[in-house]
C-alpha cells in the first residue's frame, strides 16, 4: 500500500456525486454497493428547494438483494471538508463495502446517507406525488426537476436502469402527468 493510498478514502456517489464532481479526486471507478436502493425521500432545503418549500433529493434505503450502481472516488482526507458541507442537510457518513466493477475489487469506503430520523427527511410518497413535488421545487442549485433528469442521464451512461429514478423521469418528462393533482390516476 502506498502512502497516498493510506491517506485517502473511497467515497461512493449514487446521486449528484456521479455527475457533479466539484472536488479533486485521485481515482474514479464505476462501482456498486449491495443491499441499498435509491429513493427520493430526503428533503433539500439548501440545494433543490428552500426552507419553506424543500425539494426532494435522493438517499439510500436498505434493501436486501438490491444492488446500487454509482461511481467511487478515491479522495484525500482534506476533500471531506468540502463533501461534508455539500452533503450537510441531513446526510451523514456511513461505512460501506464498495465493489469497483472494472476489476471486481472490493474496497472499504464511505457514502453519505440520509436516515429517516434526520430533520430534513420527508419520507415515502406515491410516485405521482413525488413527481409533482419535484416538478414545482426550485432552490439555489437549480430546479429539482433538472436534478432528477441529470441523475437519470448519468445512470444511463453507467448502464444502471434504476426503476425508481426512471419512473420519476418519465413522469417529469410528461408535464401533464407531473402536474396533475395528487390523487388523480396516472
Give whole-number Cα distances, 24 to 8, 79, 83, 159, in Å: 12, 7, 11, 25
- Beta pairing class for 8-13 and 105-114: parallel
Opening angle at CA 98, ends 96 and 103, nearest 5? 165
3 state DSSP class of 35: strand
- Beta pairing class for 142-143 and 55-76: unpaired
Distance, in Å, from the CA atom of 98 to the CA atom of 108, rounded to the nearest integer, reads: 6
- Residue of 78, 81, 87, 169 marked active site: 87
Question: Is 87 known to be catalytic?
Answer: yes
The residues annotated with a catalytic role in the active site are: 87
Amino acid at each position: 500500500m502506498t502512502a497516498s493510498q493510506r491517506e485517502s478514502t473511497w467515497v461512493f456517489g449514487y446521486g449528484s456525486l456521479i455527475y457533479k464532481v466539484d472536488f479533486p479526486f485521485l481515482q474514479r471507478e464505476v462501482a456498486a454497493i449491495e443491499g441499498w436502493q435509491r429513493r427520493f425521500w430526503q428533503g433539500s432545503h439548501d440545494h433543490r428547494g428552500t426552507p419553506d418549500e424543500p425539494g426532494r433529493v435522493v438517499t439510500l434505503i436498505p434493501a436486501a438483494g438490491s444492488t446500487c450502481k454509482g461511481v467511487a472516488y478515491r479522495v484525500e482526507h482534506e476533500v471531506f471538508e468540502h463533501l461534508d458541507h455539500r452533503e450537510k442537510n441531513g446526510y451523514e457518513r456511513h461505512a460501506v463495502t464498495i465493489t469497483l466493477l472494472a476489476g471486481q475489487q472490493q474496497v472499504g469506503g464511505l457514502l453519505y446517507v440520509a436516515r429517516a430520523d434526520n430533520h430534513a427527511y420527508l419520507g415515502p410518497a406515491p410516485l405521482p406525488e413525488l413527481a409533482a413535488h419535484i416538478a414545482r421545487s426550485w432552490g439555489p442549485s437549480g430546479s429539482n426537476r433538472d436534478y432528477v433528469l441529470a441523475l437519470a442521464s448519468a445512470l444511463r451512461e453507467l448502464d444502471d436502469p434504476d426503476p425508481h429514478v426512471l419512473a420519476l423521469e418519465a413522469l417529469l418528462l410528461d408535464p401533464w402527468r407531473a402536474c396533475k393533482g395528487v390523487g388523480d390516476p396516472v
